[in-house]
């Protein structure tokens, strides 16, 4: 095998908070810009990421989304790219704007991180800790996928023949012993005709704080 050609990885993990923030499936492109620093650091073009639902919503073993990585950007490039300006958070706007994930970039004068007000804002972030540290300390990479399917709480469960690819516990995993079976699982995912944003994030109808945002008058996207 060529040194430049490696088997693509199949990352699997459980999404504890499905608010449309990480991943962000809106505007016809799926982005993973926050959380999961191990995946964001290690993933390469062509790798596939699958997020499963949490047991707290009775979604264990159910796929919330999958995406294929076709572009990787630094936070500064993501912030500056006109295509992704719409993914900058706008508090008080529609839910998809409230949960924008384009929140990190460097101050040109000081070189320090700037964290825009967002779902990941917290008191510790103001001092370089908290979510800012967790999101940026290990890696400066945003994963972008234009081939994806995001079902929220309405996603499929893999057939029994692929039960070893189901993730139910904490953390993420990508090791696969059988290359052929991994590719068969990816082919199964790609064979499902759904693409793009299919249903709302699971938390939008389940989380009280999100439901409070729903009561506000939305701003047109």
Residue 193 has what pLDDT? 97
Domain ranges in the chain are: 10-211
For residue 210, the SS3 value is helix
In the predicted structure, residue 213 carries a pLDDT above the cut 60: no
Quote the DSSP letter at residue 220: P
For the stretch 48-60, pLDDT in tens is 999 999 988 899 9
Q: What is the rounded distance in angstroms from the CA atom of residue 34 to the CA atom of residue 103?
A: 9
Residue 221 and residue 27: Cα distance in Å, rounded? 10
Q: Is residue 133 predicted with pLDDT exceeding 90?
A: no
164 secondary structure, DSSP code: G
Name the E strands within 159-199: 172-173, 196-197
């Amino acid at each position: 095998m060529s040194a430049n050609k490696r088997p693509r990885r199949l990352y699997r993990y459980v999404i504890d908070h499905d608010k449309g923030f990480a991943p962000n499936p809106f505007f016809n492109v799926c982005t993973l810009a926050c959380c999961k620093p191990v995946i964001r650091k290690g993933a390469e073009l062509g790798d596939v990421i699958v997020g499963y639902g949490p047991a707290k919503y009775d979604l264990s073993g159910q796929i919330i989304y999958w995406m294929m990585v076709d572009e990787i950007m630094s936070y500064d490039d993501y912030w500056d790219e006109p295509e992704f300006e719409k993914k900058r958070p706008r508090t008080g706007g529609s839910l998809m704007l409230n949960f924008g994930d384009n929140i990190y970039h460097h101050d040109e004068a000081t070189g320090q991180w700037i964290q825009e007000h967002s779902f990941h804002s917290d008191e510790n972030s103001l001092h370089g800790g908290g979510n800012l540290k967790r999101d940026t300390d290990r890696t400066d990479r945003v994963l972008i996928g234009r081939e994806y399917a995001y079902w929220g709480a309405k996603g499929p469960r893999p057939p029994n023949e692929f039960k070893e690819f189901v993730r139910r516990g904490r953390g993420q995993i990508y090791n696969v012993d059988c290359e052929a079976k991994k590719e068969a699982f990816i082919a199964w995912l790609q064979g499902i005709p759904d693409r793009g944003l299919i249903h709302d994030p699971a938390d939008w109808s389940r989380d009280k704080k999100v439901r409070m945002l729903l009561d506000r008058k939305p701003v047109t996207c």
